[in-house]
Amino acid sequence: MDEELERDEKVFLLSEEVAQYAGAYKVSRGLWKKYGDKRIIDTPMSEMGFAGIAVGAAMAGLQPICEFMTFNFSMQAIDQVINSAAKTYCMSAGLQPVPIVFRGPNGASAGVAAHHSQCFAAWYWHCPGLKVVSPCNSEDAKGLIKSVICDDNPVVMLENELVYGVAFELPTEAQSKDFLIPFGKAKIERQGTHITVVAHSRPVGHCLLSKEGIECEVINLCTIRPMDIEAIEASVMKTNHLVTVEGGWPQFGVGAEICARIMEGRAFNFLDAPAVLCHWC
Amino acid sequence: MRKMLAAVVSHVFSRASQKKPALRGLLASQNFSNDAPCHIKKCDLYRLEEGPPTTTVLTREEALKYYRAMQVIRRMELKSDQMYKQKFIRGFCHLCDGQEACCVGLEAGINPTDHIITSYRAHGLCYTRGLSVKSILAELTGRKGGCAKGKGGSMHMYGKNFYGGNGIVGAQVPLGAGVAFARKYLGTNEICLALYGDGAANQGQVAEAYNLSALWKLPCVFICENNRYGMGTATERAAASTEYHKRGNFIPGLRVNGMDILCVREATKFAAHYCRSGKGPILMELQTYRYHGHSMSDPGISYRSREEVQNMRSKSDPIMLLRERMINNNLSNVEELKEIDADVKKEVEEAAQFATSDPEPPLEELAYHLFYHSPPFGVRGTNKWITYKSVS
């Protein structure tokens, strides 16, 4: 975010506690001291209001980063995300782009109870006109945040609070200011031959803990919309088995969609057993 | 001899009748006043020491422009009604006849470089913001020549510095505050008018927008078009306080006679000046009235009486009020106004003809414009065997 704020005057960050509090989860620490009140803006507790203002600002020439303290609070503002941001470019037949990023922690944390633990991947990736990304480590976060800010479309970036505090090795390439992870490209975190395991966000880390004797090919989706179904198909055609892992509820979720697409596509006949969905409950 | 005389006489008369329009025009312009002072109703003020002036000057040129614009909107809305009943227009269609003074008056009080966002009752503002009648009607009928290529419809028309047309009641208010935020951020002297109705005034996000705008001193004019009914619910049944100009609490407000275009114009100029001077947002309540029901599926008489509607038409019609002003002040005459009416009728008829004959957008373009600045990609159709191409 710092690099993008430096690169382009039109980029700014707004949400609750991002400035003087340095971010509820310290993601924006140091930014207010560096860029000041104009670029890093503390808002009142008004999700629908400030999300609407962010969308309006995007329509009128700026590139806002609208943070939700957690995506649970985005439900207050979801109309602005879907109806005002995602649908506008299409409804206006290309007259009105909306270059905006909605980002924040998503999914389960530690003991924060039902109101603060929902995963919104299935809700947001259902909607055309939105791009949805879900980083699982520092490299993902760095590469994706720059891609999403540079993109001229509404993007939802689903982070995870528990991963904020984890240190990851950052490859040299990823340390460059020009490092970008493109949309729609999944990553093979580990090669394997026995079974394909597909996940996004924090569950990718869980999938990397493997059982001895079983070589899992772990696919990190990175972008969940548009989804890189080709990468999953290629892997399933190699391993003949599929497990999907996600942090959301089972019905109509990420795993359900992956299974539907595999069933419709070229990899179906390569499955030796039905796909299995793993999820939160 | 007789035949020759008859020929000469008829020749003289035919030449005289050819000269008539030019001659009439010459006489006409010589006889009209260039401008006239007009008294307008004082606005109710809230948290303001002074308000818009109670007298203004209306020039002949302005009067003709406003008259024509209001007539275009009136005729366009009535034409839309007709086309809807003929099933050329489907879906939602919310008409603003009766509220013409609001759109034309607002536009007269701001600059073209200022910004406007409004609700679904948007056709009038689409026109005053620069969209042609042709492009508006063709958008209503869902044709390629529509301002949104037939993809937006009645509630989603966009133009330069005009952000629609919004389907979700009240959502446009924070958006408008956001537009004002951006223009202030970029160091311009532009303002944004964010319009909403008396029904939308009760939405929570409107209060959030008030708070954020006042806190950050955004150059946003919040405008409540109070036409007395939120769909079918009268203001007294929906709002604990119907003094909409005071509902901004800490934001100053004006209550304006929205049926008088000069009132609207002067109030808008006042409000725009207030915002541009860096004092932050201001609120205007335009007291107006819609003749049609909420939308084309509402006859508009189950929650109000026919007499009430008729009364408003006969006593407060905005076009009638302007016409009377123009004639009484010798800014125009009945004949000239009739000529304008005929010209407007022609323009709207031609636009309607276009709107019913222009082709619909091709099915291949169904998935166009999903993403901006994006290379083409395939979009799944209604099943896995159908793919539509999407281009920016």
Q: Which of A3, A17, A116, A215 is labelled catalytic?
A: A116
**Total number of residues shown for chain A:** 281
Residues from chain B that touch A229, judged by Cβ atoms under 8 A, are none
- Of A9-18, A167-176, A201-210, A272-281, minimum mean pLDDT range: A201-210
User: What average pLDDT does range A126-136 have in this prediction?
Assistant: 95
Instruction: Give B226's contacts (C-beta < 8 A, 6+ positions apart).
Output: B197, B198, B201, B235, B242, B244, B258, B285, B286, B287, B288
* % of chain A surpassing 90 pLDDT: 90
Q: How far apart are the first and last CA of chain B?
A: 78
Look at A83 and B152 and tell me if their CB atoms are within 8 Å. Answer: no
pLDDT of residue B4: 58
Rounded to a whole number of angstroms, the CA Rg of chain A reads 19
Contact between B209 and B174 (Cβ < 8 Å): yes
Contact between A255 and A277 (Cβ < 8 Å): yes
Strands (E), chain A: 11-15, 40-42, 63-67, 101-105, 131-133, 155-159, 187-190, 195-199, 216-220, 223-225, 242-245, 276-278
Q: Across the interface, which of A44, A61, A90 has its CB nearest the CB of B370?
A: A90
Q: Which of these, A172, A170, A158, lies nearest to A247 by C-alpha position?
A: A158
Cα-flanking dihedrals φ and ψ of residue B211, to 5°?
Answer: -60, -50
> Does residue A75 sit at the B interface (CB-CB below 8 Å)?
no
Q: How confident is the model at residue A63 (pLDDT cuts 50, 70, 90)?
A: very high
Chain A residue at shortest CA distance from B172: A52
CA A248 from centroid of its chain's CA atoms? 13
> Does residue A36 sit at the B interface (CB-CB below 8 Å)?
no
Query: Tens of pLDDT along chain B (392 residues)?
Result: 655 555 555 555 454 444 444 444 544 456 899 999 999 999 999 999 999 999 999 999 999 999 999 999 999 999 999 999 999 999 999 999 999 999 999 999 999 999 999 999 999 999 999 999 999 999 999 999 999 999 999 999 999 999 999 999 999 999 999 999 999 999 999 999 999 999 999 999 999 999 999 999 999 999 999 999 999 999 999 999 999 999 999 999 999 999 999 999 999 999 999 999 999 999 999 999 999 999 999 999 999 999 999 999 999 999 999 999 999 999 999 999 999 999 999 999 999 999 999 999 999 999 999 999 999 999 999 999 999 999 99
Look at B171 and A46 and tell me if their CB atoms are within 8 Å. Answer: no
Q: Across the interface, which of A53, A93, A97 has its CB nearest the CB of B177?
A: A53
Residues from chain B that touch A84, judged by Cβ atoms under 8 A, are 166, 168, 171, 175
Shortest alpha-carbon distance between residue A74 and chain B (Å) = 14
Q: Across the interface, which of A84, A97, A264 has its CB nearest the CB of B171?
A: A84
pLDDT of residue A217: 95
Shortest alpha-carbon distance between residue A1 and chain B (Å) = 19
Which tens digit of pLDDT belongs to each residue from A175-202? 998 899 999 999 999 999 999 999 999 9
Strand pairing of B192-197 and B115-117?
parallel
Both tokens of A251, joined, read 């019905």
Shortest alpha-carbon distance between residue A126 and chain B (Å) = 13
Which one-letter DSSP state was computed for residue B120? S
User: What average pLDDT does range A150-174 have in this prediction?
Assistant: 94
User: What average pLDDT does range A233-241 have in this prediction?
Assistant: 97
CA distance B365 to A93: 10
Look at A50 and B368 and tell me if their CB atoms are within 8 Å. Answer: no
Shortest alpha-carbon distance between residue B275 and chain A (Å) = 17
Q: Across the interface, which of A49, A58, A128 has its CB nearest the CB of B212?
A: A49
Annotated catalytic, A116?
A: yes
Look at A99 and B205 and tell me if their CB atoms are within 8 Å. Answer: no
Strand pairing of B233-234 and B229-230?
antiparallel
Q: How far apart are the first and last CA of chain A?
A: 33
Shortest alpha-carbon distance between residue A28 and chain B (Å) = 21
pTM (2 decimals)? 0.93
CA distance A41 to A37: 6
pLDDT of residue A160: 94
Of chain A residues 122-161, which have a CB less than 8 A from chain B? 128-129, 131, 151-153
Look at A84 and B182 and tell me if their CB atoms are within 8 Å. Answer: no
User: What average pLDDT does range A273-277 have in this prediction?
Assistant: 96
Instruction: Give B286's contacts (C-beta < 8 A, 6+ positions apart).
Output: B102, B223, B224, B225, B226, B256, B258, B264
**Which residue segments constitute the domains of chain B, with CATH numbers given?**
35-233+240-361 (3.40.50.970), 363-391 (no CATH)
> Does residue A60 sit at the B interface (CB-CB below 8 Å)?
yes
CA distance A110 to B349: 66
- Of A97-101, A130-134, A207-211, B28-32, minimum mean pLDDT range: B28-32
CA A270 from centroid of its chain's CA atoms? 30
Q: Across the interface, which of B115, B148, B204 has its CB nearest the CB of A92?
A: B148
Look at B176 and A56 and tell me if their CB atoms are within 8 Å. Answer: yes
pLDDT of residue B30: 60
| ipTM, 2 dp | 0.94
pLDDT of residue A212: 77
Chain B residue at shortest CA distance from A98: B372
Strand pairing of B220-226 and B192-197?
parallel
Annotated catalytic, A217?
A: no
Chain A residue at shortest CA distance from B361: A93
Q: What is the largest CA-CA distance in chain A?
A: 58
Three-class SS state of A3: helix
Q: For residue B45, give the H/E element and its range.
A: strand B44-46
Look at A99 and B392 and tell me if their CB atoms are within 8 Å. Answer: no
**Residue A54 clears pLDDT 50, i.e. is over it:** yes
CA angle, A150 then A152 then A157, to 5°: 65
pLDDT of residue B6: 54
Strand pairing of B253-257 and B282-287?
parallel
Q: Which long-range contacts (CB under 8 A, 24 or more apart) does A256-264 make?
A: A257/A122, A257/A125, A257/A227, A258/A198, A258/A227, A258/A229, A258/A232, A261/A227, A261/A229, A261/A232, A262/A229, A262/A232, A262/A233, A262/A236, A264/B384
Which one-letter DSSP state was computed for residue A174? G
Q: Across the interface, which of A80, A83, A93 has its CB nearest the CB of B152?
A: A93
pLDDT of residue B17: 44
> Distances in Å between the alpha carbon of A132 and those of A68, B103, B237?
15, 39, 42
Chain B residue at shortest CA distance from A10: B186
**For the ranges A101-115, A204-218, B21-35, B50-64, the one whose mean pLDDT is highest:** B50-64
Instruction: Give A53's contacts (C-beta < 8 A, 6+ positions apart).
Output: A14, B174, B175, B177, B178, B181, B209, B212
Interface contacts A/B by beta carbons within 8 Å = 152
Residues from chain B that touch A102, judged by Cβ atoms under 8 A, are none
Look at B211 and A55 and tell me if their CB atoms are within 8 Å. Answer: no
Shortest alpha-carbon distance between residue A234 and chain B (Å) = 19
> Does residue A90 sit at the B interface (CB-CB below 8 Å)?
yes
> Does residue A54 sit at the B interface (CB-CB below 8 Å)?
yes
Instruction: Give B218's contacts (C-beta < 8 A, 6+ positions apart).
Output: B177, B180, B181, B184, B212, B280, B281
Shortest alpha-carbon distance between residue B156 and chain A (Å) = 6
Three-class SS state of B250: coil
